[in-house]
Amino acid sequence: MNLPALEAIVRKDLTAVARSRAVLIPLIVVPVLMLVLIPALVAFAPRLAELPGSTLSQLQTFLERAPAGLKASLAGYTPAQQIVVMSLVYFLAPLYLIVPLMVSSVIAADSFAGEKERKTLEALLYTPTSDRELFLAKALSPWLAAVVVGLLGFLVYTLVANLVSLLTLDRLLFPNALWLALAFWLGPALAGLSLGTTVLVSARVNSFQEAFQLGGVIVLPVVGLLIGQVTGLMYFSVGLVLLLGLLVWILDAAVLHLAFRLFRRDQLAARL
């Protein structure tokens, strides 16, 4: 394997990302919104319990149909505190997963489609790499960026969530086993699944916008997880996260194997 060439391609891609507003702005705005602003607003959740209306009754209805494990994790908290714990530990977990997915999708969408727009694809195709090495290099850039942003986002979220929990619960909630599994196991796996499909799409379309829109479909399963939690059909537990991560890593391997079989630089050159 031509490691120097792979390293050069990865470095070039990450440099292009840092110089592109269209790519860089979503990588900053979305994590700040989901991992800073939204968890910070949870600090006001206990006040909802003081307002007249159905807030607490809705909470009690949700808990009645919630799985036993979730009920046990909330035991000992007041109704107002349960809102905070459910929001920070459980309800916002799927939103965190969107961050590595989004980062990998945005950068992967720019991989080949961006090269076409910048008129640099022809030079890339003449690099001394095999088809498999070229695809692997173009996939490594978004995956590495997604993992780094995901882990940094986890640290920032931990700080914000702990500040909120100190103010509302007088205790720290993070880090915990659930979120460690999210950050170090399921998040990187989802980033890999997203980039594998998006890089393939990027190689077959002509613009960054097309590749990003088509590759963004991969976010839908995470939205389904969010809906499942809000409706009480399931909740994020350590066991579920580990199992989902295992399944996604297996899918990653299948997608990568398929990509190695489908990707051909001569077909890419024919679209120039």
Question: Higher pLDDT residue, 107 or 155?
Answer: 155
* Least confident span in 43-47, 85-89, 107-111, 209-213: 209-213
DSSP alpha helices (H): ranges in 110-237? 112-117, 121-125, 131-169, 177-181, 187-202, 208-215, 220-230
DSSP state at residue 86: I
From 84-98, 201-215, 245-259, the region with the lowest mean pLDDT: 201-215
- d(Cα 187, Cα 28) in Å, to the nearest integer? 18
Lowest-confidence segment of 112-121, 228-237, 247-256 by average pLDDT: 112-121
pTM above 0.85, yes or no: no
- Which long-range contacts link 212-216 to residues 24+ away (Cβ below 8 Å)? 212/105, 212/106, 212/109, 215/105, 215/108, 215/109, 216/105
> How crowded is the C-beta side of 208, counted as CA atoms within 13 Å?
17
pLDDT tens string 59-72: 666 666 677 777 78
Half-sphere exposure of 151 (CA within 13 A, CB side): 9
Is the per-residue pLDDT at 212 higher than 60?
no
Mean pLDDT of 178-201: 83
Pick the closest to residue 104 from 135, 136, 148 (CA basis).
148
